[in-house]
Every structure is written in structure tokens, then in C-alpha cells.
Homo-oligomer: A and B are copies of this chain.
Amino acid sequence: MSSENRKVYAEVANLVRERRPLVHCITNYVTVNDCANAVLAVGGSPVMADDAREIADIVAIASSLVINIGTLNARTVKSMRLAGKAAAKIGKPVILDPVGAGASALRTKTAIALVREIPFAVIRGNSSEIATLLAGSGNTRGVDAADDGSPSKSGEKNALIARELSRKTGAVVVVTGAIDTIADGSRIFKISNGHPMMARITGSGCMLTAVLGAYCGACHTDRAIAAAAAVSIMGIAGERAARAAESVGLGTFRTRLIDELSRIDGDGAKEDMRIETA
């Protein structure tokens, strides 16, 4: 990774602190506080609003919209659809976290319907959620065949499904895992920042999605670059939090993750970024 490239990602992170994007989140009630604090920590400003009657007003003032289906219900799904269409219509980036797609028919159907109706800027999920979204378009076989559980095959599979979903939807697709994969129509990014402790607390994924909202809300030039910067910065915060908390426990890790997110800036993170492009 060239120092030229590092500079590009670092500038995105700095831009977020300069522009303080207002991130509208319609998200689950489990990790909503973590999401709000993560957005604030990276320099954005969160607004949580899910009543259909105020969607238009909030979309109008926000820099981006984050839709997270973690604890979806009929009322909030209606608001998600309204908000997603309204935001996309006026050119605001919309980010989707299809939490649990594949775990229930309701989540699968809702996530697929959202993807059909809304031109997402970014979709972020784990391998299984992204594969489920793709299967909704009738494409599971190749995906399943590519995965024999080994890290390299799993990496290949993630690149395959990310690229495929990106081509079908036009969104930048982020598949998180041991190594995070990002695809847009033409490029693949592999990011090897992060720490296993992140998967042992609730909210790491949701927080990343909220942070993607802040990064895309601040940086409109290249969304895949913005997404790669967000994923790398979140991973670096996780690495640093783990160094402080590994011998203490998961409660301290959660607290230190927000600490590190709030201290990090592009310049301080540059040397730790591990982003490869293909």
C-alpha cells in the first residue's frame, strides 16, 4: 500500500471531522446508543427518527441515511422505505445493514425489497447476509460452491458475492469478516484491519454501518474509497481497543472502542491502514 494511497484514505477521515455530517439512522434498539456514540466519535452528528410523519423533514436536513433492520417491525419498515426513497431521490447516500437477512423470512424479504426499491450507496453485511441478498436475485449456487470454509476460499467467495451484488444493485458492497472485502462495479478492496474481540460484543457491525453513513455523508467523490477508509479506521480502533482491553474484558473493550474512534484521525491512522486493492 503506497503512501500516496494512505494519504487519500486519511483525507477522507479528516473530511468527516471537518464537515460534521448529520447522519439520519433508522436502526435497531439494541445497539442504537453505540451507533449514536460511534457517529459522534468519528466527527459526525447522529439523528434517530423513525416516525413516518417526520421522515421527509429529517431526510431534508441530513447528509446521509442509515437503514438497519436489526429489530424491524411493520411500523419502522414503512419508515425505512419512505426514508430510503426520499433520500435517494434528492441524492443523499443511503446505507443498508441487512442484519439477520437469512435468519427469518421477514428479514430476508424485507432486505430484498429494500434493495429492489432503493438505490443504495453502500450495503454492509456479513458473508451470510450478503449471500442471502444475492440469492434473492436467484444466484446462490455459485456462491455456495465457492466456499469450502478455508480462509482463502472464504476470501474468494466474499469477493465474488460483493462484486456480484454491487453489479446488480450499483451499490458499493462491504462484506465484513476476518478480512473485510469491498466491491464496486470495477474494483475490489481487501482490508485486514480489525480484531476478533469486535465480534464478541454486540454492535461492532452496526457501528461500522453508522460510521459508513458518516463517511459517505462527508465524502461524495468516491464512495468505495470512503467505505474503505471507514472500514479501515473502525478496524484500527478495534485493534487499539483490544490492546488496552484484552486482559480486562469485553465491557472495557466496548468502552475503549469508542475511545479510540474518538481519538483517531486520518494522519494518526495512516501508518496502520492495511488496505489492498485488486
Contacts and interface: CB of A to CB of B under 8 A. Distances in A.
A216 interface: no
Interface string A21-54: 0000000111111101100110000111111011
Contacts of A70: 48
Interface residues of A, number: 53
A128 interface: no
Contacts of A33: 30-31, 33-34, 202-203
Interface of A: 28-34, 36-37, 40-41, 46-51, 53-54, 57-58, 61, 70-75, 100, 103-107, 200-203, 248-252, 254-263
Nearest to A28: B48
A54 B107 CA distance: 8
**Interface residue SS majority, chain A:** helix
Name, among A32, A203, A263, the residue most crowded by chain B CB atoms within 10 Å (CB to CB): A32
Contacts of A57: 103-106
Nearest to A260: B249
A259 B260 CA distance: 18
A51 B100 CA distance: 13
B50 A71 contact: yes
Contact of A46 (B32, B72, B104, B202): B202
A48 B71 CA distance: 7
